[in-house]
Amino acid sequence: MAIQLDKINYSYSVGSAYEVHALRDINLTIEDGQFIGIIGHTGSGKSTLIQHMNGLIRATSGNIYYNGEDIYAQDYDMRSLRSKVGLVFQYPEHQLFETTIFDDVCYGPKNQGLSKDEAGLRAFEALKSVGLKEELYYQSPFDLSGGQKRRVAIAGVLAMRPEVLILDEPTAGLDPKGRDEILALISKMHKERKITIILVSHSMEDVAEYVERIIVMNHGQVMFDDVPHEVFRHYKELEKISLAAPQVTYLMHELREKGLPVDVNATTIEEAKSEIMKVLGKKTC
Ligand SMILES: Nc1ncnc2c1ncn2[C@@H]1O[C@H](COP(=O)(O)OP(=O)(O)OP(=O)(O)O)[C@@H](O)[C@H]1O
Ligand SMILES: [Mg+2]
């Protein structure tokens, strides 16, 4: 049951001339262990939404429950929620600040109240799982490449052993190789650790390959919330809000329009390949 949002509304700068109604009547249940993509164009409310999930932003109205407990209850331990629901911000490398990579990753667990040794063990484990070479651990985080810095930032959150990991645009600004590596890493963490992952992106291509559920945000509202192929079925509506479906969706529709009776629900290149080969009566290699 993990996280439940019940009629969440949020406005920035309430009462001022700059008031923005950023979230409107959001009802969502994030189940344990799911791998979810949150998609939407700029300003649709993605970052505002996820910051509600770990209590960083408090809703203007509505309720949020974590494992059934009301996070807005007076005696609720918000600090512990922040370590159970780990949030990796957009451009997290801007928040690296310690002199060594290792110290930086220790910061979260130390803040949780763990001893120096325990925090060190957690940091070691987290850095290992993001695939950073050991010889780099005691170097400055500022000398790393963009992709490596992002791994360190992810390790910093993983070291707190969160139950839910939320990543806000983790591939923004990376080259295609860096992007693929980070997405593969996130997918591996989901498979191995079985933690709930929420991946915010404005690229369908990025999420189509990995997630099992897509939440599409538009003007502060949930427009679609379904398995990828159901969401991509609405590709014409997605285009209207400047979101394209993955190229595979277009290809399959085009093939079908041209008379090849393929199932248009393939969402990844692999699925498309085996569907086309099946229809053509050929075996995939
Ligand atoms: N600190 C703020 N003060 C005032 N308005 C804000 C603030 N942060 C966001 N907004 C507004 O709230 C709305 C939702 O913004 P949000 O950052 O959640 O969108 P987003 O989907 O994450 O966008 P992006 O893809 O650009 O990251 C937008 O209209 C935005 O201008
Ligand atoms: Mg954002």
User: For residue 279, which of 246, 236, 229, 258 has the smallest C-alpha distance?
Assistant: 258
The percentage of the chain sitting over the pLDDT mark of 90, rounded to a whole number, equals 73
Indicate the DSSP class of residue 214.
Answer: E
Q: What atom of ligand 1 comes closest to residue 18's alpha carbon?
A: 4
d(CA 231, CA 212): 11
Nearest CA to ligand 1 atom 30: 43
Computed on alpha carbons and rounded to an integer, the radius of gyration of the chain in Å comes to 20
Residue stretches of the chain with pLDDT short of 70:
1, 283-285
CA-closest residue to ligand 1 atom 29: 43
Mean pLDDT across the chain, nearest whole number?
A: 92
Predicted local confidence at residue 284, as pLDDT: 59
Protein residues placing their CB within 5 Å of the ion ligand 2: 46-47
Among 128, 131, 123, smallest CA distance to 185 is for 131
How many angstroms separate the most distant Cα atoms in the chain? 66
Edge-to-edge strands of the sheet including 61-66? 20-30, 3-12, 61-66, 69-70
| Strand 35-39 with 3-12, pairing | unpaired
Q: How many Å lie between the centroid of ligand 2 and the Cα of residue 47?
A: 4
| Whether the CB of 42 sits within 6 Å of ligand 1 | yes
CA of 158 to the centre of ligand 1 (A): 26
What's residue 242's pLDDT?
86
- pLDDT score of 168: 95
User: How many whole angstroms from 152 Cα to the centroid of ligand 2?
Assistant: 20
**What pLDDT is recorded for position 1?**
62
Give the ligand at the shortest distance from the Cα of 49: 1
Q: What is the token pair recorded at 260?
A: 């090849």
